[in-house]
Amino acid sequence: MPAAKDNERKLNMDGILTVVCFILLLIIVVIPIFMIIYNAFFFEGKFSLDLFTTQMTDSKNLSAMWNTVQIAILTTIIGTIMGVFYAWLLGRSDIPAKGLMRALFNIPYMFPPFLGAMAWDLLLNGRSGYLNKWLRTTFGLSQMPFNINTIWGIVFVEVSYYFPFVFMQVVSALERMDPTLEESARIAGAKQGTVIWKITLPLMKPSISAGALLILTTSLAHFGVPSILGYAQGIYTLPTRIYAVIYNSTGSFEGIRQGAALSVMLVVVVALALILQNKILSSGSYDIIKGKSMRPTLIKLRGAKIPLLILAIFTLVLIVLVPLVMIFLISFIKAYGLPLKFENFTFAQYQKVFNMNGTLDSIKNSLILSISAGIISMFLGTLVAYVVQKIKPKGKEVLEVISVLPYSIPGTVLSIGVILAWSGAIFGISLYNTLWIILIAYIARYLSFSMKTSSAALLQVHSSLEEAARVCGASHTESLSDITLPLIRPAMVSGFFLIFLPAMREVTTSILLYGPKTMTLGVKIYSLRDAGMIPQAAALASVAIVIIIILNTIVTEITKERKGV
């Protein structure tokens, strides 16, 4: 009976999609993670804790671990307080120019923190920072007033880039909060301060802890800022230590194995932090957000308005404007160390940087990598989301966890896994020093972004829409292409940009994976600076910033248009 056969084929298509999904995730995610664990604990096929114990007892590693934890905790606490404070100020008070300030507060989110670290290093370096030198001569100090190359310096730069995580979460929750919750407390006789402390803040707890968690895990895994600010003073964190170990061993297998052992340590630290945070901040989520759009009443700042406005503007200047201006200024300087005077300015650095071997290649590589990682992850993430949401096979939870896993694993660790897996260990496939290996790492790292957006969109597509198409005479495939895909296309596109933008400025993963011909834009800036070519690094960084701004504007325009439909 041909009809029966038809039906079988449909069942098979679901089956094929599921199998494809599992296989791709196995290759991209499971194998690298497995390789790290295997190499950390097994040597020449035998179980051995030797490597692990020597690494664990090495005082350098232990101090790196302690630094990592210290920096992450300080960054989380300060970043959270700052994020909540500004969210409240811009979300619920009557401070002027809210819209503009909100947009400006989101800027740090766009830029790679290592550029900020570069800028602050130029300003406040303990030996030669421009601002330091100026302060010393102006006020006749005996020594440099600031030193950014310390734990606190690293915390300062990380806070200025990571507090938006909390800020954005809380500000949107504050705006959607049901105002009657606060109003009834006022009516019951509570003072304004009491309301903020006893009602608003506890209600915001879920969004605050979500943002704080993001800061904590990002900071623990962060490579850029501590590597730029810490190396000179010998301050290492686990991610920079892993990089140093591998870099110093010039890519030998022993170095990579040590890196793998350190990676396991880092993963353990991240996991402990997650558990700890869950314990401290565990709280039920409240249903405080109503579907009705109600405008919460704004709180009058009265006399505090002007001082708070000045504080907010000062913060913005400090975290957004100063680093940007500094990078641009240095990119025009004739030679590093010359005073920032107009007669010392030139365009020559741009010329030099673009005449240099590999600069254009690095931009090209980053574009190729981020576009292809964006497209591939977009489709793969949608595939996983479709299998999980619609086909619902046995083991769909496993599928979901696997696809989200790489994002909670530090980028450095992921890179080591990819190196271990694809340098000939499996079927003799060696992708080392090619763009492919970076691409695989990017896909693994960013897959969860597109998976989540597509998943959310698919949830909105009620299965009766697809079924209606089937009943109207569309085959299974036709109902997918006519109904489901067009409906989730906007989400897929935004998933693409969510991957494309961070991949464009990525350093952490690619710094361990790049080869002579596969430098990415981020790595190129980083290594120019590392080689002491600071004005050239600043010139390329300025180009990168301009590219990022242009891309962001395009994305905002595109997403705006789509929302209009």
Partner 1 sequence: MANVRFENITVGYGGHMVLKDFSLEVQSGQIVCLVGPSGCGKTTLVRALLGLNKPETGTITVGDKVLFDAKKHINVPAEKRNIGIVFQDYAVWPHMTVIENVSYPLKKQRRPKDEIKQRAMHALEQVRMTEYANHLPSQLSGGQQQRVAIARALVTDSDVVVMDEPITNLDAKLREEMLLEIRMIQNRLGATILYITHDQQSALQLCDKMAIMQPDGSLCQFGSDEEIILNPANRFVFEFIGVSNFIPVVSMGGKYALDCGEKLPLPAELNPGNENIAGKELGVRLNDVVFDKQSPLRAKVSSRIFLGSEYNYFLRLGQKEIRVQQDMLAARLYGTPEEGEEIGVTFLNPHYYDPKPPEQAAAVVESGKKKKFSLFGKGA
Rounded to a whole number of angstroms, the minimum distance from the CB of residue 561 to partner 1 is: 15
- Whole-number Å distance between alpha carbons of 379 and 398: 19
Amino acid at 289: I
Rounded to a whole number of angstroms, the minimum distance from the CB of residue 558 to partner 1 is: 18
Rounded to a whole number of angstroms, the minimum distance from the CB of residue 159 to partner 1 is: 43
Both tokens of 106, joined, read: 């989101």
Of 74 and 488, nearer to partner 1 (C-beta) is 488
Q: Would you tell me the crossing angle of helices 59-92 and 50-57 to the nearest 10 degrees?
A: 70
Q: For residue 333, what are the β-bridge partners?
A: 345
DSSP structural state of residue 233? G
Q: Quick check: helix, strand or coil at residue 144?
A: coil
Q: Quick check: helix, strand or coil at residue 333?
A: strand
Of 94 and 478, nearer to partner 1 (C-beta) is 478
Rounded to a whole number of angstroms, the minimum distance from the CB of residue 397 to partner 1 is: 16
Spatial CA neighbour of 173 closest among 79, 255, 87, 234? 87
Of 387 and 437, nearer to partner 1 (C-beta) is 387
Amino acid at 301: L
Of 338 and 465, nearer to partner 1 (C-beta) is 465
CB atoms within 10 A of CB 328: 16
Query: Which residue in the block uniquely carries the two structure tokens 């565990």?
Result: 282
Q: Judge whether 392 and 462 are in contact, CB under 8 Å.
A: no
Query: Which residue in the block uniquely carries the two structure tokens 């001569």?
Result: 137
Q: What is the number of alpha carbons within 13 Å of residue 536 lying toward its C-beta?
A: 19
Q: Would you tell me which residues interact with partner 1 (CB under 8 A)?
A: 1, 3-4, 6-7, 10, 390, 462-465, 467-475, 478, 482-483, 486-487
Rounded to a whole number of angstroms, the minimum distance from the CB of residue 565 to partner 1 is: 9
Rounded to a whole number of angstroms, the minimum distance from the CB of residue 58 to partner 1 is: 54
Rounded to a whole number of angstroms, the minimum distance from the CB of residue 474 to partner 1 is: 5
Dihedrals φ, ψ of 42, to 5°? -120, 135
Spatial CA neighbour of 20 closest among 373, 375, 382, 475? 382
Q: Quick check: helix, strand or coil at residue 42?
A: strand
Q: Judge whether 341 and 411 are in contact, CB under 8 Å.
A: no
Of 126 and 393, nearer to partner 1 (C-beta) is 393
Of 7 and 54, nearer to partner 1 (C-beta) is 7
Of 267 and 469, nearer to partner 1 (C-beta) is 469
Of 288 and 474, nearer to partner 1 (C-beta) is 474
- Whole-number Å distance between alpha carbons of 251 and 257: 10
Q: Quick check: helix, strand or coil at residue 167?
A: helix
Of 284 and 473, nearer to partner 1 (C-beta) is 473
What are the counts of helices (DSSP H) followed by strands (DSSP E) for the chain? 28, 2
Both tokens of 429, joined, read: 């496939």
Rounded to a whole number of angstroms, the minimum distance from the CB of residue 22 to partner 1 is: 22
CB-based contacts of 299: which residues, under 8 Å, 6+ apart? Answer: 92, 93, 94, 192
Of 453 and 508, nearer to partner 1 (C-beta) is 453
Rounded to a whole number of angstroms, the minimum distance from the CB of residue 462 to partner 1 is: 6
Rounded to a whole number of angstroms, the minimum distance from the CB of residue 287 to partner 1 is: 20
- Whole-number Å distance between alpha carbons of 76 and 220: 10
Of 205 and 390, nearer to partner 1 (C-beta) is 390
Rounded to a whole number of angstroms, the minimum distance from the CB of residue 8 to partner 1 is: 9
